[in-house]
Structure 1
Amino acid sequence: MIEASWIAFAFTLGLIARAIGLPPLIGYLGAGFALAAVGDHVGVGRQDGVILQHLAHLGVLLLLFTVGLKLKLSNLVRREVIGGSLLHFAISSVLVLPAIVLVFDASWRDSLLLAIALSFSSTVLAAKVLEGKRELKAFHGRVAIGVLIIQDLIALVVMSLAAGQVPSPWALLVFLLPLLRPVLFRLLDHSGHEELMVLLGLMLALVVGGMGFEAVGLSSELGALAFGAMLAKHKRATELSNSLWAIKEVFLVGFFLQIGIGGLPDTNAMIFATVVALLLPLKGMLFFFLFLSFRLRARSAFLSASSLTNYSEFGLIVASVVLPQWLTPLAISVALSFVVSAQLNRFAHPAYERLAKWLIPLERNTRHPDEQPVSLGDAQILVMGMGRTGRAAYDHLLRKGFRLASLDSDPVMVERNVAEGRNVFFADAEDQMFWQNLQMNDVKAVVLAMNDAEAKIISTTKLRSIGFKGLIVSHALYEDIAERIQAAGADHTYLTMTEAGTGLAENVARELLPEEVRPAAERLVG
């Protein structure tokens, strides 16, 4: 079977890539080129490329749907996101345009479209890398994803204009989509926790979002992203994302295979890809300085820029529509940029630590949107994570008379809680500089209320490593996670569902038992 060749090549080269310290996706790219080279011998033909193209498209739609599930519109409509993406698009296109005209002797139209295609960064790669490093919800991850979404919207406009296509008048109906949110929430509530929930996710990403948007002349990728974003505030959005994880990963293998299987490059294509790859550092530097100009700290600017230092699969989509003769050179350029970007992101954190003494002086002398506290003042208790659990813990302890401070890695959540009168600061638990500079002399206890289990483990480890001897209390959904948090140094880790059951039992006992026997019964329930 032809599919056996795809699977065998992808698994073998993916395993080799992992063995030499590269992400498996680099192996999948290599497998695509290998299949293109030996296609006649293993029976891979044009029809198989079409099948892979469909699988790849499904993978991209599912990826963007799951990215949307973790997206908050308030994090997108920020000046560092909109300003950074638009300015980078304009400056990058203007700088690269004359180089393409002079070096490759292309027409001005083709050169302009190539420059625009090369200004975009890869949504697939960046989202996959950030997700793998559990940094999608970190400040720099949200900035990078926001920029990528703006770029994707620009790419859709460019393709429509260059191809002479305009959306159907029915496309105006997308502005009514927010009215569907209560219906989508109810569907998710009633879909259970098993196959119906998976089918709901597939239907929204591929059918309603993908095919629905295409039917009115809009991008299917935009549709998948939009429907994911509409469910982002649902309490089961994370569960839905996790249920689609394995399907998405398998289909994305098809995406990387499809890039390479399109055909082997000639000498001119390799020269083009090499020259374009040499421009990657300039692309990353431009992002870095633009983010600094929008008052980000050097660390956030560096990590966001690292995620965006690559070329985009949307460049291939643009080429397939308006520049078919440049498709193979662009495919090689994208593949090379993936190799470079994968290594850059693998070492991004240690690289920043080494470069910090030169990068930090470049920050603007003003308050940054991602500025982190140096001191927690006279706070007795620190609450980390200000979602529903964190806010409930904070408000309860405040009523008990304790002095509190709290931290959250979402600037929007920080602004919301500050407006409601809570003492909340922005902080990224994975930032080593934050822990090195933090002063918490009066803090006696820390409540870990973040949703992400890894963030709790990292925070516990960092707290103990800086010499904090006080009480660390956390919650967890599963026993194995609770054990890992305890092993990192937490004093107590409560199982969320168990504590909810205990709370229910205590309320029942309080209502039904007579006053004189209530204390003994409460001890028994506890």
Structure 2
Amino acid sequence: MPEAIWITFAFALGLIVKAVGLPPLVGYLAAGFALSAMASMTGVAVEATAVLQHIAHLGVLLLLFTVGLKLKLRAIVRPEVIGGSLLHFAITCLVFAPGLFLLLDLDWKTALMLAIALSFSSTVLAAKVLESKRELRAFHGRVAIGILIMQDLIALVVMSIAAGKSPSEWALLVFGLPLLRPLLFRLLDASGHDELLVLLGLLLALVVGGLGFEAVGLSSELGALIFGAMLANHPRSQELAKSLWSVKEIFLVGFFLQIGIGGLPDQQALMFAVVAGLVLPLKGLLFYFLLLAFRLRARSSFLTSLSLTNYSEFGLIVASIALPEWLIPLAITVSISFVISAPVNRFAHSIFEKIGHHIVRFESQKRHPDEQPLSLGDTRILVMGMGRTGTATYDWLLPQQAKIMGLDSDPAKAENHRLQGRNVVFADAEDTTFWEGLHIPSLEAVVLAMNDIEGKLIAARMLRKLDFKGYIVAHTMYSDEAEKIRDAGADEAYLTMSETGVALASHLMDQPGLQEARQTQSTTSDTAGST
């Protein structure tokens, strides 16, 4: 039973790499190559069966669907996204194609197709890394995902040309999909909170988006992404994404296993992969300077570029259609880029803190509209993170303190709050350059209501570094995180669920009947004490 072997190797190596601080996906890649090595030594055939290939494909579709759920399409149609992706693609092809032609003695068509395959960055890896750090909605995360979507669209065009296929006339129906949004919203509302919600997500991602788009000659990946994006503005879109999380993660294990099981490389393939790995930093540098040209700050450009400094699984798909003889070398190349990119991205913020003062001098004096400097003015209470907890905190405090401000790292969310009458502005608490120019003359208290622990730790440390003497309070799900937040400088960090229980109990005791019973009990106790 090959599935039992896959699961055993994936779990064992995933656990090992996690223990040394690497993302488990690196272990899943290693498991695939370990299976290939075992097959070559023992003579026992280990190959990517149709079942594994299907599971891998489902994992990619579900990942793209959940990415779509977190996307705002208006954030994609931006100069830095469209311009950055197209310029990077063109420059990479113009540089790589002649180099491959001369160094490897290839014909021009093969050299160009290889250059195209190497120009793409991994949607799977970047989305997974950004999601794990809860940065998909941060400014740099949205720019990175937008560029990846543009690259995926370019890859779909290239694959269609290489395969000599064109969409059927029925593909024009795609332009009518926005008319289905009210129906999709009603289905999501009617699905409840249990298994029907999961089934709805699977139906839209795999059946309607996946098979539906394939039936009209379009990419199933594009279909899954589009149907996710159509639901992005629904209030329950994030609940749907969370309900699909475990299913998506399991299926993605199959994707990474499939890459490794594809076969062990020969010496020439290894040399190609090593050289491609050595030039990988050039890919990130090109992204960095292109994004700076579009007026992004050094930090945003650096974090976005680091997310995109890898090679893409779409390159393997392009190769499987146009360059099948190059599939294994490209698979090793993609795997090496994953091994390099995943751990580096984990420490992206720490790396920028160390080298930021060297590279910040390249940024433009003109700032991107979403990265304008911020002044708190006469604000006395600051709420950082305007999700459900931050919004509830803001609304409760507003009648008692009018000079209150909210910050959020999602410009669209900040705009929605402003439309509802709240004083909320865009700012990223993890941006060290934001803290460097911050002036807080009247600030008395700060509420840390961001989702991620890293953002709270950075905010608490930076506030104390600015000699802020006021009160800092935060919430968290776990007691060990609460201790870290206090050590970083917060006065107090409360456990979310414990405080929820206290709030429920206080609401309960505010009921008239229970108040009377409590007063009667108190009177009886006083009488007994007097007696």
Coarse TM-score class (shorter-chain normalised): 0.7 to 0.9
C-alpha offsets along residues 95-126 of structure 1, whole Å, 9 cap, x if unaligned? 11101101111111111111111100000111
Name the residue aligned to 2:54: 54
Q: How does 1:250-399 map to 2 (within 5 A)?
A: 250-371=250-371, 373=373, 375-386=375-386
| Structure 2 unpaired stretches of 5+ | 520-531
Name the residue aligned to 1:188: 188
Task: Give yes or no for the alignment of 1:10 onto 2:10.
Answer: yes
Equivalent of 1:489 in 484, 488, 491: 491
Give the SS at the match of 2:383.
Answer: strand
Give the SS at the match of 1:38.
Answer: helix
C-alpha offsets along residues 227-261 of structure 1, whole Å, 9 cap, x if unaligned? 11122222222222222212111111111111111
Name the residue aligned to 1:27: 27
Q: 1:280 to 1:483 in 2, by over 3 A?
A: closer
Give distance in 2, aligned partners of 1:339 and 1:273. Answer: 12
| Structure 1 unpaired stretches of 5+ | 521-526
Contact 1:17 1:26 in 2 (8 A): yes
- Which residue identity does 1:298 align to in structure 2? A
Give distance in 1, aligned partners of 2:97 and 2:107. Answer: 10
Give distance in 1, aligned partners of 2:54 and 2:81. Answer: 31
C-alpha offsets along residues 129-170 of structure 1, whole Å, 9 cap, x if unaligned? 111222222211111111111110110011111211111111
Contact 1:381 1:443 in 2 (8 A): yes
Contact 2:475 2:493 in 1 (8 A): no
- Which residue identity does 2:411 align to in structure 1? P
Contact 1:486 1:493 in 2 (8 A): no
1:365 to partner: Cα distance: 0.9
Give distance in 2, aligned partners of 1:485 and 1:397. Answer: 26
Aligned length: 511
Contact 2:133 2:452 in 1 (8 A): no
Give distance in 2, aligned partners of 1:480 and 1:203. Answer: 38
Query: Normalising by the residue count of structure 2, what TM-score does the alignment of the two structures yield?
Result: 0.86
Contact 2:210 2:220 in 1 (8 A): yes
Give the SS at the match of 1:406.
Answer: strand
Give distance in 2, aligned partners of 1:237 and 1:94. Answer: 41
Contact 1:72 1:232 in 2 (8 A): yes
Contact 2:52 2:258 in 1 (8 A): yes
C-alpha offsets along residues 69-102 of structure 1, whole Å, 9 cap, x if unaligned? 1111122111111111111111111111101101
1:416 to partner: Cα distance: 5.4
1:457 to partner: Cα distance: 6.4
1:492 to partner: Cα distance: 7.0
Give distance in 2, aligned partners of 1:475 and 1:62. Answer: 31
- Which residue identity does 1:227 align to in structure 2? F
Give distance in 1, aligned partners of 2:164 and 2:79. Answer: 31
Query: Normalising by the residue count of structure 1, what TM-score does the alignment of the two structures yield?
Result: 0.87
Contact 1:460 1:489 in 2 (8 A): no
Contact 1:35 1:261 in 2 (8 A): yes
Give the SS at the match of 2:128.
Answer: helix
Name the residue aligned to 2:86: 86
1:262 to partner: Cα distance: 1.1
Q: How does 1:452-463 map to 2 (within 5 A)?
A: 455=455, 459=459, 462-463=462-463
Name the residue aligned to 1:168: 168
Give the SS at the match of 2:369.
Answer: coil
Give the SS at the match of 1:242.
Answer: helix
Contact 2:18 2:24 in 1 (8 A): yes
Q: 1:485 to 1:177 in 2, by over 3 A?
A: farther
Which is further off, 408-417 or 300-309? 408-417
Give the SS at the match of 1:289.
Answer: helix
Give the SS at the match of 1:196.
Answer: helix
Give distance in 2, aligned partners of 1:500 and 1:147. Answer: 45
Give distance in 1, aligned partners of 2:348 and 2:393. Answer: 35
Give distance in 1, aligned partners of 2:260 and 2:472. Answer: 50
Give distance in 1, aligned partners of 2:324 and 2:452. Answer: 44
- Which residue identity does 1:85 align to in structure 2? S
1:353 to partner: Cα distance: 1.4
Name the residue aligned to 2:202: 202
Give distance in 1, aligned partners of 2:259 and 2:479. Answer: 39
Contact 1:130 1:141 in 2 (8 A): yes
1:65 to partner: Cα distance: 1.1
RMSD between superposed Cα atoms in Å: 3.1
Give the SS at the match of 1:25.
Answer: helix
1:331 to partner: Cα distance: 0.6
Task: Give yes or no for the alignment of 1:435 onto 2:435.
Answer: yes
Give distance in 1, aligned partners of 2:507 and 2:230. Answer: 33
Q: 1:71 to 1:439 in 2, by over 3 A?
A: same
1:299 to partner: Cα distance: 0.6
1:402 to partner: Cα distance: 2.0
Give distance in 2, aligned partners of 1:194 and 1:280. Answer: 44
Q: 1:499 to 1:427 in 2, by over 3 A?
A: same
Name the residue aligned to 1:225: 225
1:14 to partner: Cα distance: 2.0
Give distance in 2, aligned partners of 1:373 and 1:455. Answer: 19
Contact 1:370 1:411 in 2 (8 A): yes
1:396 to partner: Cα distance: 7.4
Q: 1:491 to 1:245 in 2, by over 3 A?
A: closer
Contact 1:156 1:219 in 2 (8 A): yes
Give distance in 2, aligned partners of 1:415 and 1:359. Answer: 31
Name the residue aligned to 2:522: none
Contact 1:25 1:253 in 2 (8 A): yes
Q: 1:245 to 1:398 in 2, by over 3 A?
A: closer
Name the residue aligned to 1:523: none
Contact 2:69 2:232 in 1 (8 A): yes
Name the residue aligned to 1:141: 141
Contact 1:471 1:491 in 2 (8 A): no
Q: 1:93 to 1:187 in 2, by over 3 A?
A: same
